[in-house]
Structure 1
Amino acid sequence: MMQSIVCNRVLVSWNLGTRSYFLPNNGTAIRQEIYKNGPVVASYTVYQDFSHYRGGIYVHKWGKQTGGHAVKVIGCGTENGTDYWLIANSWNTDWGENGYFRMVRGINNCHIEMQMISGVMTV
């Protein structure tokens, strides 16, 4: 005998902003956007060597493309002359640098600088 299951749905509006826009592939413009409006969303190409990241400034050096990933870019900095993006990942705090990682900035590493999006929030 087959049993009938009823699924109740609740529709929620996820429209939290008035508009979104791609940022130019320009480090200065991206930094200004973060300072003015806060974090931005970025997607990038993932390669095999990223699975070995434990800390430091990530620069793709070897391996095949394994997919893509979306993250929140929250800032930038410079360490020992190397510019980097400070990025919040979604893989928990036991990954990378307490859930964050740094990716080299200014060379479009893993295509990250050409795939950044920001938006205007509705308050």
Structure 2
Amino acid sequence: MYGPVEAAFTVYEDFLNYKSGIYEHITGAVGGHAIRIIGWGVEKDTPYWLIANSWNEDWGENGYFRMLRGHDECGIESEVTAGRIN
């Protein structure tokens, strides 16, 4: 079966004010955060992860955000876990 996976990443100051687009951090690590990766895509030749956040629907893209994929942005690709159904 395929489905969402859980991940953790380093949160940077600019992430707190994310509104839309494919997020790439700039500077200022402030802590960590756990999220759910629910999909992926490509926009204008830029690959991204589609991610569900837990900060309410008025944050980001209706409670979701997109993060650069394939470059371990904020360490997100190093901290992924998934369940297995037997």
**TM-score for the superposition, normalised by structure 2:** 0.95
Q: Partner of 1:20 in structure 2?
A: none
- Per-residue displacement from partner, 1:41-63 (whole Å, max 9, x unpaired)? 0000001111121110000112x
Q: Partner of 2:6 in structure 1?
A: 41
Structure (1 or 2) with the larger CA radius of gyration: 1
Q: Partner of 2:20 in structure 1?
A: 55
Point out where structure 2 has 5 or more consecutive residues left out of the alignment.
none
CA RMSD of aligned residues (A): 1.1
Q: Which amino acid aligns with 1:39?
A: P
Q: Report the CA distance between 1:121 and its aligned residue.
A: 3.7
Percent of residue pairs bearing the same amino acid type:
56
What SS does structure 2 have at the residue aligned with 1:50?
A: helix
- Per-residue displacement from partner, 1:2-46 (whole Å, max 9, x unpaired)? xxxxxxxxxxxxxxxxxxxxxxxxxxxxxxxxxx42000000000
Q: Partner of 1:75 in structure 2?
A: 39
Structure with the larger strand share: 2
Q: Partner of 2:68 in structure 1?
A: 104
- Per-residue displacement from partner, 1:47-82 (whole Å, max 9, x unpaired)? 1111121110000112x2100000000000000010
Q: Would you identify which runs of 4 or more consecutive aligned residues in structure 1 move more than 3 Å?
A: none
**TM-score for the superposition, normalised by structure 1:** 0.67
Match of 1:89 among 53, 75, 79: 53
Point out where structure 1 has 5 or more consecutive residues left out of the alignment.
1-35
